[in-house]
Amino acid sequence: MFLLSQQRPLELKIFFPNSSQFAGLSDISIPQDIPVEGEITIPVRSRIREFDSSTLNESVQNTIMRDLKAVGKKFMHVLYPRKSNTLLRDWDLWGPLILCVTLALMLQRGSVDSEKDGGPQFAEVFVIVWFGAVTITLNSKLLGGNISFFQSLCVLGYCILPLTMAMLVCRLVLLAEPGPINFMVRLFVVIIMFAWSIVASTAFLADSQPPNRKALAVYPVFLFYFVISWMILTFTPQ
Partner 1 sequence: MYSACKLNKQGDNIQPWQFGDTTTSLAANPDATTISIEDPGETPKHRAGPPRSLGREEDDELLGNDDSDKTELLAGQKKSSPFWTFEYYQTFFDVDTYQVFDRIKGSLLPIPGKNFVRLYIRSNPDLYGPFWICATLVFAIAISGNLSNFLIHLGEKTYHYVPEFRKVSIAATIIYAYAWLVPLALWGFLVWRNSKVMSIVSYSFLEIVCVYGYSLFIYIPTAILWIIPQKAVRWVLVMIALGVSGSVLAMTFWPAVREDNRRIALATIVTIVLLHMLLSVGCLAYFFDAPEMDHLLTSTAAPNQTVVAAKSS
From the list 56-64, 158-166, 190-198, 225-233, the region that binds partner 1 by CB under 8 A is 225-233
Q: Which of 68, 76, 143, 191 binds partner 1 (CB under 8 A)?
A: 143
At residue 232's C-alpha, the angle toward residues 150 and 75, to 5°, is 40
Candidates 165, 143, 147; CA nearest to 213 is: 143
Within 183-212, which residues bind partner 1 (CB under 8 A)? 212
| Residue (95 or 132) nearer to partner 1, CB | 132
Name the minimum Å distance from CB 128 to partner 1: 9
| Residue (131 or 188) nearer to partner 1, CB | 131
Name the minimum Å distance from CB 215 to partner 1: 5
The count of chain residues that interact with partner 1, using the rule CB under 8 A, is: 27
Name the minimum Å distance from CB 212 to partner 1: 4
Q: Which of 28, 142, 172, 175 binds partner 1 (CB under 8 A)?
A: 142
Query: How many Cα atoms within 13 Å fall on the side-chain side of residue 136?
Result: 29
Q: What x-and-dash track marks residues 112-131 binding partner 1 by CB under 8 A?
A: ----xxxxxx--x-------
Q: Give dist(CA 230, CA 224) in Å, integer.
A: 10
Candidates 182, 194, 193, 198; CA nearest to 235 is: 182
Q: Give dist(CA 188, CA 24) in Å, integer.
A: 75
Q: What x-and-dash track marks residues 144-183 binding partner 1 by CB under 8 A?
A: x---------------------------------------
Q: Give dist(CA 66, CA 160) in Å, integer.
A: 22
| Residue (141 or 171) nearer to partner 1, CB | 141
| Residue (107 or 159) nearer to partner 1, CB | 107
Name the minimum Å distance from CB 157 to partner 1: 19
Q: Determine if 231 is a binding residue for partner 1 (CB under 8 A).
A: yes
DSSP three-state, residue 176: coil
At residue 7's C-alpha, the angle toward residues 44 and 63, to 5°, is 70
Q: Give dist(CA 236, CA 87) in Å, integer.
A: 34
Q: Give dist(CA 37, CA 40) in Å, integer.
A: 10
Cβ neighbors of 50 (< 8 A, separation 6 or more) are 6, 41
Binding site for partner 1 (CB under 8 A): 116-121, 124, 139, 141-144, 212-216, 219-220, 223, 226-227, 230-231, 234-236
